[in-house]
Every structure is written in structure tokens, then in C-alpha cells.
Structure 1
Amino acid sequence: MSKRILKFKCYEIRWMVLALLLFTVKTGIADERTDRTSRPNVLFINVDDLGWRDVGFMGGDFFETPNIDALSMEGMTFTRSYAAAANCAPSRACLMTGQNTPRHGIYTVSPSARGDARTRKLVPIANTDSLSPKAITLAELFKMAGYGTATFGKWHLGKNPTDQGFDDNKGGDLRGNPGRKGYFSPYKVANLEDGPEGENLTDRLTQEAIRYIESSRDIPFFVYLSYYAVHTPLMAEEDRIKKYKAKKNPLGIDAVYAAMVETVDSNVGKLLDVLKANGLESNTLVVFTSDNGGIRSIATQFPLRAGKGSYYEGGIRVPGIVKWPGVVKPGSTHDRPVTNLDFFPTFKNLLGMDLPDQPLDGKSLLPILQGKSLKKRPLYWHFPIYLQKYDSEKDDGRDPLFRTRPGSVIIHGNWKLHYYYEDNGLELYNLKSDVGERNNLASKRPKKSGKLLGMLNQWLAETSAPIPRTANPEYID
């Protein structure tokens, strides 16, 4: 028997075992799986590298995002929405598994030793670039609940998302961006046929998602629409670029980037229109978010500090909206911290599913969506790696060489503590009075720093987080 056939057999057996376990713990689940009145369709829109301030409803006045702004008024806006990691692959792994980085081992886009070796004091923890086949993903969760599952666009967690529970895949593989000049057909992404010459990739992914939605009106569906936009390379239609070049631009935002954001917005509008036209709006939960913060040299996140790849607020705060007609109050806001780790337990709770042997690090947001509240809780980040600079002058990081040096972070309420492994450095900020993280209070508030550091160390131990301790022999002081 070939290795490929054997792998398929093992995958098939795994599904049978999981299905049997879930069936035995949930009496009558077969009937519940098709109960569309209690289990909504889910459309999850995950934009790549879209910054917290890069949409109108979050104060991005330079950007024109009328459809996304309207979505925020139809649902709940999360003003302190966080990604569980500051760059693409680890954030997506956290979203798909509900597990923080120490559990799945994806810390960055490989390799973890980034930047000039002579400037790295420690040997970073080794990184993996793909999800383990043992991990249960959001797609598998929905599939086990009787949903159709489809993904359109960036996957970045393995060779093919159909190996991780998706029935259909258009455009996704291990690639993290569409390649040089890749936003217009002929495309350079896998699992997507070329369209007419010059067709826009964002438009095309939306068209594919619409085809799937329109063909799935008789079954509940989970659609994961993960645009490659607005990741580099920056490319957009010329008429949109010219419009933004002609606008007043005191923050120096890249006009091509702004045009890409508008392209995403127009496609969000198409999707919402299709849901209405097909009678699906009232029974579809829509999520809109980003996988991490924006690149600061392209679009500043002021007043937030830094951007993608940094664990200052600009690198991990993202736009967040959930629309769920009949449940979520239109135009509502939630101001406590939430993270994309919370979506897995939210959908698990919503579907009434039990999972064997997969600890989850988030909390279900169902009480919040239903107008209730969650207790204050800590959020954690662990990044035992290095990420080199984008722009030493504009990155606004801890030093001009790296966006990220090895460290960990805890947020508890309005307090945020950074801990750095190279020098045991501490940075403590009160985000209520200092959202820009400019006034380090670690020496002035030693008790608060100590308490948060103790909580952080306890979490690191509980998750068996690997800590970089080995000195780098190539380092030059």
C-alpha cells in the first residue's frame, strides 16, 4: 500500500472515530445537525494585514469603507479585538485550533531565526509551518456538526486545507502571499484557475464564495473567506489609486494600500447583498476581522505603537465585527479584550459540540453576543523568536533592528506587561491612559509588574511553553 493511500486511510479512520465519539456524547445530534433555525450559517471574513485603524468605523478617515462600516452598525463592534499572534501563520493557527502558540508550535512564518545572526543574543525556538494532522480545526468542528465547509483564499497552514476538514478549497495552500504581481490574473496561487487577464484576485475569491453560498442554500455552511489582500505586494486598480493619491493624506498612508482596502470593502458589500438576495441574511452569522495588525510603514496605526510583527498594540489589535440577526444588538459595542482564540469555543458552544482531548485557550463569546458579559480574564502571547525590521525609522519597535525579539506578553484589564528573554526586560503599560505604550511603569509599579509576571510564568508552565535560553555563538556584543 502506498504512503499516500495509507495517509488517506488513516485520515478516514480518524474521522470515523471522531464522529462516533461525538455521536455517543450528544444524544440526538443527527437531528440537530440539520436544524437550521438554531444553527446559523457562518461567513468568516479574515482580511490579511488589515490594521486596527484602516477602516472607517474605527476612525480611519482616509479610507473609504462604507460596506464594512454598515456591517459594524448591523452588528457588534469589538473595540479591543486582538489577534493571538502578530503575524500571519501563527495567528491563523490560533484561530483554526482555538489553541495558543505553545500548543501548536507555529510561532512565525519559517524560519524563526530572522534578521542578522550577529545581533541575536539567543538561539530562537524552532518553528513549524503547518498544523499537525491531529489538531481539530474549525472546519472539522463544523463538518462534524453537519455543515458544508469551504475556504476561499489564503490558508498558510499546510499544503491543502481539504486535509484539515474543508470540503472545498479555492486558492489556498502553504503560500502566504499571492506572489509578485499576483493580484491580477494570470494568478500564481495554487488551487485556483486563471480568470480573464487582469481579473482582480479579491474579486475572484468573492465570486467563488458567492457561487458556493448560492449552491448551499439547502444546507448549513461554514465559509472561511480569507483574502490575500491587503498583504503585499501592493496592487490595485489604477482609478482607485489615483483617487487616493489626490486625497489629503497627513498621515502618509500608502495610496495603493488604501485602494486595496476599498476593493475588499466593495467585495464585502457583494457578499452581504448575496445573503439578502438569497434569503440567508437572517440565519447567517458574519464575522469580519484581520489576522494581525497592519504594516506601520504602509499605514500608521496611531495612536497605537508599531505594527505587524510587533507585540505592541499596533501589531496585535485588529478590527472586529460580529453580525448575527436576532441575537446581536445592531450598533452595539464591546470594550473588553477579546481574541481570535475565542472563536473556536464560541462556535463549539453554538453547535453544542464536545471535543475529545483538545484544550482550548479562549472563551466562548456567546454571552457577549447575547448581551451579557464575561469576567475579566488575562490574555497571553508567547513569541520565542525573532522578526527582523521592515523599516528601522517607521517600525516604532523596541529597537531599530527587530520588530520582535523573544518574549511574552500578558494583558489583564487595562494593564499590559512585556517580558523579554534576552535581557529580562520588563515593560508595563496602563492601556487606558497610555494606549500608545510610551510610558513604561515597570519601575514605578513593581508590585503590579511582579503580579502580572507571576501570572505570565504560571501560564507558560501550564502550557509547557518552550523558553529560549541558549546563547547564540554568532552574537557580537
Structure 2
Amino acid sequence: MTLLASIEDSVPHSKCQQGHYRLVKGTEIPKTGRVKAVLPFFLIFASLLTGEEKPPNLVYINADDLGWTDLSSQGSRYYETPNIDQLAASGMVFTNGYAAASNCAPSRACAMSGQWTPRHGVYTVSPSTRGKAKDRKLIPTPNNKTLADEVLTLPEVLQAAGYFTAHVGKWHLSEDPLDHGFEVNLGGFHGGAPGRGGYHSPYNYPNVVNKKKGEYLTDRLAEEACRIISENKDRPFFLSFTTYSVHTPIQGREDLVKKFAAKESTAEHNNAEYAAMIASLDMAVGRVVETLKEHQLLERTLIIFTSDNGGHEGVTSNEPLRSGKGSYYEGGIREPFFFSWKGKIKAGQSSDTPMTNLDLFPTLVAAARAPLPKTKLLDGHNLLPLLTKGQPLSERPLYWHFPIYLEGYRENDQETRDPLFRTRPGSVVRLGPWKLHQYFEDNGLELYNLDEDLSEQTNLANTKPEKVKELLALLENWRKETNAPVPTELNPKFRTPETH
């Protein structure tokens, strides 16, 4: 038995609600839900005893509402993202990378817990009854507004393994990230969008200092992220840098807005304010990478870049993908997604392996060689063998579940299933190129071959009944295994279109 294996077996476990487990010090669970460092220095010094390399630093960059085509390396001819593009080129890009949910809070809950939405119950932002009551046929499943303390999170596991853990930017899962395994919080709280002051100082975020009036929020958070890297360069750290950009309100830096207003736009991308926000995001990423380089940390740091959901329709276009944020068509869930680790992940790689942000938890824990309770449920896969050795993953289904309503952004939106809602209650499964949507109000089924129809325009449900049967069986079995709630109660306030 290796030293690390013996450490893992020796970690005390305490069973919590819903079958989850958390690492604890002794036999007590801290009342705040925050995990203390159960194994201080064990993982660090275990590397000295075994001759293994020092555990890598982990930098997780999660943009907010950035669409699949919002990077120049992803096809935009108007937005400019040279730093992000360079980071993507330095590692492996996943062309079929997904968020496990189509809007902010549930996607983040999936990433931090490593679990599908039915396990933690965060399905949307705020109530699940969004949209007009007369248009909702079913009573939707109630939504958890916060990630429960009982859910063991990625930063808790890493902190317990001796990592310094810091959160910079948007959190959106509770009032304080410190209750979920972070030791430092700069800017994270329950809010999901910039509030008073928007993106320009004076703003009001936890522990974020207003250095000068008019300072741009993305610049401030990037400076804080770089400071954290510099101050902790001599010990393993996990930095969660989750920007508020490019979430509404759409407010760019004045100098950058002027630059893009003078630039020729395209039919798909033509919003100078939004382009300026993306440029600021790109500069922030560049500053983080440059700081790692200055401290000679690139070979000791695994960097992940992605977005929490698709682009906001009406602000940007997700074409050729259908629809956008809040929808479970490709435009709402397919994301820019790539991993970079100098010397470990070969540069210039691209993988068409379907994956989601659920894979972050097992991948980062494996990279960190961090002990994990064997009873902790993880719904993603460890991507490290693929990233570092090119070992292919076996084909697996990906699932999404949304027993809720989410109102539409635009009047008469033709990209969604109907013009009133971005999402009506239902589930989705993808296996290989095939993607099946099932909607609970009318048991509507939509089947698409994404290899041939990336825009999800041709519903093959009637012409491919055997494929529908296969995927529907997978979906139903998965819902049973995860206790996924399916709303069936009729809404007494519902009125058919004829009686509106």
C-alpha cells in the first residue's frame, strides 16, 4: 500500500444527508460546513518521502455567459481574444465541451460538487416558476437556491489535502465561499450579477477594495488573482478565478468600447460594448498566465478555461448553435473548454470527446493526488489519462435534467422550442452524435444527429424510432438511479392558448 493510499484510508468520514460524505477533523463536522485542513502538510511532504513531484497548482478560470463562438479561436471575426487563444493553443481543446446546466447557479453547483443537478437540487437561479403562471402547464420542482453544506465540494477536498484555496469573482451558490472550502474570498457572494455600480468602481463586493473611482471590475479581480498567485507561489494552491464578465449589465471599458465601435463588425457579432467586455476578460486571463510565467510556475500549474453556460441571446449570437443561455439546445450548454499544463499536456491538441464541467472534480483531484472518501459520489470522469497520455475515454452518455421553467429573453424567439420559454420541464441525453430531448408537459421528443445537424434543425424522432427507444431507456434509468424529480401535478392557473 502506498503512503497516499494509507492516508486516504485513514481519513475519518462522517455520513451526512443524501448519502454524501465530508472530510472532517477528528469526528466533528464544523458548524459552518467549512472543512479545516485535515491533512496539513501530509500531501506536500508525502511527495518528498515517495520521490514524487510536488503537487501541481490548479487554476480554474470560469467566464460568465461566454458563448461557444465568442472567442476568435472559436470562430469570431469581431471579438479579439489573443491571450485566451494562446492559452488554448498551449494545451488540449475540447470541441464537445459542455456545462452540466444551462444557466449560472446550477452549472457552478455541478462544477463544485462534481454531481448532476438531481443530486444537489440546484436547477436554476431563484424560483423554478419563472414566466407567466398561465403559460405553465405543470407545477415545477422547487429549486434549491444554495448549495447545501452537506455537499462535499472540490475546494474542501483540496484544502484538506494541504492546498491553499482562494476564490476570486462570482460565486452565486451561498452567501460566503468560505463555508465551502475556500480560505480566501474576493468578490464572491450569493448575487449572480454586478449590482450597485455595475462594472465600474465604486462597487460593493466582499473584500474587494475600491482603489479608484471608475476602475473596471474585471481589471480589479485580475489584479487580486495575480496577487494571490504571487503570495502563494511556494506552496500548492487552488485558484478559482470566476469572472463576472461577460454577464449583464453590458458595460465595457470606455477605451475598449471606442476601439470596437470603430472596427467593422459581422452579422453575428456586432456589439461594441460586449466586445470590449470580452477584450477585458482576455486581458485578465493574460495577466494571470503572465504572473504564473514570471514565477516560473507554468510547468507546475494545470490551467482550465471554460464558461458556465452559453451566450446571452440578444447580446451575442451563438450561431451555428441553436438558442443560448437557459436553453438545452447546444447554444445553451456547449462551451469553450480547454486544459493547459506545460510539459504535461502536449500543445496544439484537440479532442472531440464529449465532456462536461462535472469532469473537473475527478480530474483536479487526480492531478493533485488528493485523498477522497471512497463513498463520495462523483458523476464525472477523470480526464487526466486523456490529457497527459492520449488515452481515449470509453463512450458514455451525458445527461441534463431541468424540471423547471425559465422564461424567454426575446419576444417571439424562434430559436427555443416555443417563443415563451427558454426552458420548459424536461431532460436531455447525449450519446455519441445522438442527442434526445424529452419534455414533460406533452412528452414531446426531439432527436438530433449532432455530427450532421449541429444546429438542431431536423428532428429525427419520427424516422429513428429505435434510436429514440434506446436513448429514452437510458434517460429513464438515469432518472431512476439519481432520484430525479419529474413534475406531474397540473397547474390550476394554466390556460391553454385558446383561452388566454
Structure 1 length normalisation: TM-score?
A: 0.94
Kept in 1: contact 2:79–2:269 (CA 8 A): no
Aligned pair 1:462/2:474, yes or no? Answer: no
1:90-105 matched pairs, under 5 angstroms: 90-105=106-121
Q: Distance in 1 between matches of 2:68 and 2:471?
A: 26
Q: Distance in 2 between matches of 1:445 and 1:250?
A: 35
1:335 to 328, 352, 356: 352
Q: Tell me the residue number matched to 2:438.
A: 419
The structural deviation recorded for 1:392 is: 2.7
Aligned pair 1:403/2:419, yes or no? Answer: no
Q: Distance in 2 between matches of 1:112 and 1:359?
A: 25
Q: What do residues 33-59 of structure 1 show as CA deviations (whole Å, max 9, x unaligned)? A: 788834210111000000000001111
Q: What do residues 67-104 of structure 1 show as CA deviations (whole Å, max 9, x unaligned)? A: 01111111111111100000000000000010000000
Aligned pair 1:367/2:381, yes or no? Answer: no
Aligned pair 1:32/2:46, yes or no? Answer: yes
More deviation, 95-104/129-138: 129-138
Please give the secondary structure, in 2, of the residue aligned with 1:452: helix
Q: Tell me the residue number matched to 2:147.
A: 131
More deviation, 152-161/129-138: 129-138
Aligned pair 1:278/2:295, yes or no? Answer: yes
Q: Tell me the residue number matched to 2:173.
A: 157
Amino acid at match of 1:189: Y
Identity of aligned residues (%): 49
Please give the secondary structure, in 2, of the residue aligned with 1:11: coil
Kept in 1: contact 2:64–2:242 (CA 8 A): yes
Q: 1:16 to 1:421 in 2, by over 3 A?
A: closer
Amino acid at match of 1:325: K
Q: Distance in 1 between matches of 2:207 and 2:386?
A: 37
Q: 1:392 to 1:180 in 2, by over 3 A?
A: farther
**RMSD of the alignment, in Å?**
1.9
Please give the secondary structure, in 1, of the residue aligned with 2:124: coil
Q: Tell me the residue number matched to 1:119.
A: 135
Q: Tell me the residue number matched to 1:222.
A: 238
Please give the secondary structure, in 1, of the residue aligned with 2:185: strand
Q: Distance in 1 between matches of 2:437 and 2:35?
A: 44
Aligned pair 1:387/2:387, yes or no? Answer: no
Q: Tell me the residue number matched to 1:308.
A: 325
Q: Distance in 2 between matches of 1:384 and 1:469?
A: 10
Q: Distance in 1 between matches of 2:105 and 2:112?
A: 11
- What runs of 5+ residues in structure 1 fail to find an aligned partner? 1-8
Please give the secondary structure, in 2, of the residue aligned with 1:418: strand
1:257 to 251, 274, 282: 274
Amino acid at match of 2:102: A
Please give the secondary structure, in 1, of the residue aligned with 2:215: coil
Q: Distance in 2 between matches of 1:116 and 1:310?
A: 17
Q: What do residues 387-414 of structure 1 show as CA deviations (whole Å, max 9, x unaligned)? A: 0010134561000000000000000000
Q: Distance in 2 between matches of 1:15 and 1:141?
A: 11
More deviation, 357-366/243-252: 243-252
The structural deviation recorded for 1:29 is: 4.4
Q: Distance in 1 between matches of 2:270 and 2:69?
A: 11
Kept in 1: contact 2:171–2:188 (CA 8 A): yes
1:69 to 85, 92, 114: 85
Q: Distance in 1 between matches of 2:34 and 2:222?
A: 30
More deviation, 246-255/332-341: 246-255
Q: Distance in 2 between matches of 1:307 and 1:461?
A: 29
Kept in 1: contact 2:113–2:151 (CA 8 A): yes
Kept in 2: contact 1:33–1:145 (CA 8 A): no
Please give the secondary structure, in 1, of the residue aligned with 2:489: coil
Q: Tell me the residue number matched to 1:6.
A: none
More deviation, 9-18/255-264: 9-18
1:429-468 matched pairs, under 5 angstroms: 429-468=448-487
Q: Distance in 2 between matches of 1:383 and 1:165?
A: 27
The structural deviation recorded for 1:12 is: 6.4
Aligned pair 1:80/2:96, yes or no? Answer: yes
The structural deviation recorded for 1:321 is: 1.3
Amino acid at match of 1:140: E
The structural deviation recorded for 1:326 is: 1.4
Aligned pair 1:49/2:61, yes or no? Answer: no
Q: Tell me the residue number matched to 1:355.
A: 373
Kept in 1: contact 2:103–2:326 (CA 8 A): yes
Please give the secondary structure, in 1, of the residue aligned with 2:486: coil
Q: Tell me the residue number matched to 1:3.
A: none
Kept in 2: contact 1:407–1:421 (CA 8 A): yes
Q: Tell me the residue number matched to 2:14.
A: none
Q: Distance in 1 between matches of 2:52 and 2:103?
A: 35
2:339 to 305, 309, 322: 322
Kept in 1: contact 2:34–2:181 (CA 8 A): no
Q: Tell me the residue number matched to 1:248.
A: 265
Q: What do residues 268-324 of structure 1 show as CA deviations (whole Å, max 9, x unaligned)? A: 111111111111111111111000000121111111000000000000001011001
Please give the secondary structure, in 1, of the residue aligned with 2:62: strand
Kept in 2: contact 1:389–1:395 (CA 8 A): no
Please give the secondary structure, in 2, of the residue aligned with 1:103: helix
Please give the secondary structure, in 2, of the residue aligned with 1:19: coil
Q: Distance in 2 between matches of 1:108 and 1:237?
A: 30
Please give the secondary structure, in 2, of the residue aligned with 1:301: coil
Q: 1:15 to 1:388 in 2, by over 3 A?
A: closer
1:127-206 matched pairs, under 5 angstroms: 127-206=143-222
Q: Distance in 2 between matches of 1:243 and 1:449?
A: 49
Please give the secondary structure, in 2, of the residue aligned with 1:46: strand
